[in-house]
Amino acid sequence: MKKKTALITGISGQDGAYLAEFLINKNYIVVGSERRSARYDTWRLKRLGIERKIIREELELTEPYEISRLIKKYKFDEIYNLGAQSFVKSSFSSPLYTCNTNGLSVLRILETIREFSPNTKFYQASSSEMFGEILTKKQNERTPFNPRSPYAVSKVFGHFIVKNYRESYNLFAVSGILFNHESPFRGEEFVTRKITKGLVNIINGKQKFLELGNIYSKRDWGFAKEYTEVMWKMLQQKKPDDYVVSTGRTYSIKDFINLCTDYLKIKTKWIGKGLDEKLINLKNNKIIIKISPKYFRPSEVDLLIGDSSKAKKILKWKPKTNLKSLVKIMLDEEIKYFLS
């Protein structure tokens, strides 16, 4: 049987690495696109041992002609559009760049598929951030969006342009509305990895304390490796459709910290309130976490909690890793690479 060829934009990111591994194991030819940037880094692909199994191509998502060159060259069976300016906080300082990269690039890809490769199936990385200030207790495919950042607005554009091209031109184009998903491959700017790395640095004397922003927001956190598998499942269905992917449980950043300190067996105590709240290490009475206004956002998403019953019913998918297990996976890997 002829091997399928898939393009993953954002191959250097967390999800790109796990998805590439998954597709390689499914015998796909994987083309991974990278932008011409000094930041390009293959550490995740190296750690998975798949760096040499990927065909690397250049693609800057904001460049209109690069995507058409690639699509004409490969006529991909599947495209997974994971590339994005994915850090919500940066979207407040770079709103135009964020909207161009995350929003208009989706349209650029869809237009090219429509014109040159209409049989290509397309997956768009939509986000639970689109629900923003939530309008229902749990969020599913029918919950209205209420975005709270330029990032979320850019993803809403991407989401609806996918729906529009599916309905107008009969393309197999879908969006996965994924809730937060984490792993040892998470970028260090995101809160979970900042905490796991920071705490391991602190107990090993490499860092004195950690500064965080709003520790009371709540997220529905899953394990990234499981979430990339569901992207593929969406493209194997008879009918293209959008799906929410989540665990259905929500925890605050403070809960996540407490799970980490429990696992690391650090005896701690929270003291103070607001900007003066601190986490003290009871062994030596030193402050290990402080609050800094530097990490607050102009507008915050206070609470996210997903309802992925549609994915469970149709895709036969459900999450396996709870937050306590995810904390263990992240901290074990953090310790292993700190010591190596």
Question: 5 or 81, CB closer to ligand NAP?
Answer: 81
Binding of ligand G4F at residue 190 (CB under 6 A)?
Answer: yes
Question: 15 or 334, CB closer to ligand NAP?
Answer: 15
Residues between 159 and 188 that touch ligand G4F (CB under 6 A) = 179-180
- Of residues 148, 219, 225, 254, which one binds ligand G4F by CB under 6 A? 219
Separation of first and last alpha carbons in the chain: 42
Token representation of residue 142: 């029918």
Question: 66 or 129, CB closer to ligand G4F?
Answer: 129
Q: Which residues contact 107 (CB under 8 A, 6 or more apart)?
A: 161
Number of residues that bind ligand G4F (CB under 6 A): 22
Token representation of residue 231: 């992207």
Residues between 181 and 200 that touch ligand NAP (CB under 6 A) = 181, 187
- Of residues 121, 138, 159, 194, which one binds ligand G4F by CB under 6 A? 194
Question: 214 or 237, CB closer to ligand G4F?
Answer: 214
Residue 216 CB-half CA count within 13 A: 6
Binding of ligand G4F at residue 217 (CB under 6 A)?
Answer: yes
Binding of ligand NAP at residue 180 (CB under 6 A)?
Answer: yes
Query: How far are the Cα atoms of 10, 109, 129 from residue 33, in angstroms, in the given order?
Result: 6, 13, 25
Token representation of residue 36: 């011409």
- For the four alpha carbons of 4, 33, 174 and 19, in that order, the dihedral sign comes to positive
Give 6's DSSP letter. E
- Contact in structure between 306 and 138 (CB atoms under 8 Å): yes
Supply the minimum distance, in Å, between the C-beta of residue 276 and ligand G4F: 16
For residue 70, the one-letter residue type is L
Q: Which stretch binds ligand NAP (CB under 6 A): 37-45, 108-116, 293-301, 305-313?
A: 37-45
- Of residues 5, 83, 191, 311, which one binds ligand NAP by CB under 6 A? 83
Alpha-carbon gap, residue 144 to 130, rounded angstroms:
9
Binding of ligand NAP at residue 141 (CB under 6 A)?
Answer: no
Binding of ligand G4F at residue 191 (CB under 6 A)?
Answer: yes
Alpha-carbon gap, residue 86 to 82, rounded angstroms:
9
What mask of x and - would describe binding to ligand NAP in positions 234 to 253, judged by CB under 6 A? --------------------
Closest residue by Cα to residue 143 from 132, 152, 153, 154: 132
Q: Which residue has the tokens 């607001």?
A: 274
Question: 39 or 273, CB closer to ligand NAP?
Answer: 39
Supply the minimum distance, in Å, between the C-beta of residue 74 and ligand G4F: 27
- Pairing state of beta strands 278-281 and 268-271? antiparallel
Residue 188 CB-half CA count within 13 A: 7
Residues forming contacts to ligand G4F in the complex (CB under 6 A) are: 86, 88, 127-129, 179-180, 189-191, 194, 212-215, 217, 219, 253, 295, 297, 300, 304
Residues forming contacts to ligand NAP in the complex (CB under 6 A) are: 9-10, 12-16, 35, 37, 39-40, 59-62, 82-86, 101, 125, 127, 178, 180-181, 187
